[in-house]
Amino acid sequence: MSERVTVTSPRGRSRRPLSRVTGGRSRVDAAPVRALMRVQAGHAAVTCAIVALLTGGLPLLFAWEPALSRVRLFGVRLPWLVLCVVVPVVWVAVARRHVRLAERAERDFAAMARHE
Closest to 24 in 3D by CA, of 49, 6, 39: 6
The model carries a pTM of: 0.63
Nearest to 102 by CA among 4, 24, 28: 4
- Torsional sign, CA 12, 17, 21, 27: positive
19 pLDDT band, cuts 50/70/90, is very low
Mean of the per-residue pLDDT values of the chain: 80
pLDDT number for residue 15: 53
List of residues 6+ apart from 22 with CB closer than 8 A: 3, 5, 110, 113, 114
